[in-house]
Amino acid sequence: MGKQAILVTGASTGIGYATAHLLAQNGYAVFAGVRTEDDASRLAAAHPNLTPITLDVTKAADIRTAAALVRESGIPLYGLVNNAGVAVAGPLEFLPLDDIRKQFEINVYGPIAIAQAMLPMLRERRGRIAFIGSIAGRISAPFVGPYSASKAALASLVDAMRQELAGFGIAVSLFEFAAVKTPIWSKGRTAKDALVAKLPAAAIEHYGPFIEAIVAQTEREERHGMEPGAVAKAVLGALRSERPRERYVIGKQAKLQAMIAMLPPSTRDRLIKKAMQLPD
């Protein structure tokens, strides 16, 4: 079997970068979606099997160009790793609807649009699609509702797509995990400053202490989260497996949260409040 191509979205940092680099090390021709020229230069120098491409998953033109570049490479596309994502946080009572729409544009509609564009090539090779989800799709926490909702919506769509494509020999897997040491949370803190600046005074009056508690929680998760490489290894394993699993729950924390998600709402709420160290 000759060389095979894999497209990884959101490959500039974190899970995307770790996955793209690991796949390149294992002989795949990796098309790595990035958004800046600096990121493209850095990835191009990281490994000869890495080919950065400009890819904003919310832009139809970028998606069409990416599909054309992969096709024109002449290397058969075997896998798609849908990783690009953002985290929008804030009190739902005051969170601008445009911010929530942006959350869904990137985390839900983008991955489906990419899959639609790549499926003609994946169908030729009976390829694989890996969607990077989150255990947050099973258990929603206060002030990160948009993120949890986007991952829940993605999980439902992935379940449907998996069943629709099974008859064509295209395996579809969802990867769920809890805290990972990635820049998504530090980006979230930066966005928090911008969010606070545009929230009305009533929002800060009602939710100020809770917002600070959420920021402190994300800092703890950054310190104690698992390495992105753990997710990358799971993705590599799924791409290589003859019978990849439908869902991969990665890490002890994610497995614990999956069990908590099945508890009665009142019990679940108490555990979440305690874990997040939210004020009374």
Q: Give dist(CA 7, CA 116) in Å, integer.
A: 13
- Angle at which helices 228-240 and 14-25 pack, to 10 degrees? 50
CB 146 within 8 A of CB 91: no
Structure tokens at 29: 């021709």
| Alpha carbon distances (Å) from 225 to 87, 96, 158, 271 | 16, 29, 25, 19
- CB within 8 A of 97, min separation 6: which ones? none
* 253 backbone dihedrals φ, ψ, rounded to 5°: -65, -40
State yes or no: is 17 an active-site residue.
no
Q: Give dist(CA 186, CA 192) in Å, integer.
A: 10
Q: Give dist(CA 6, CA 245) in Å, integer.
A: 19
**What is the Cα gyration radius of the chain?**
19
Catalytic position from the list 28, 147, 207, 248 = 147
Which sequence positions are flagged as catalytic? 147
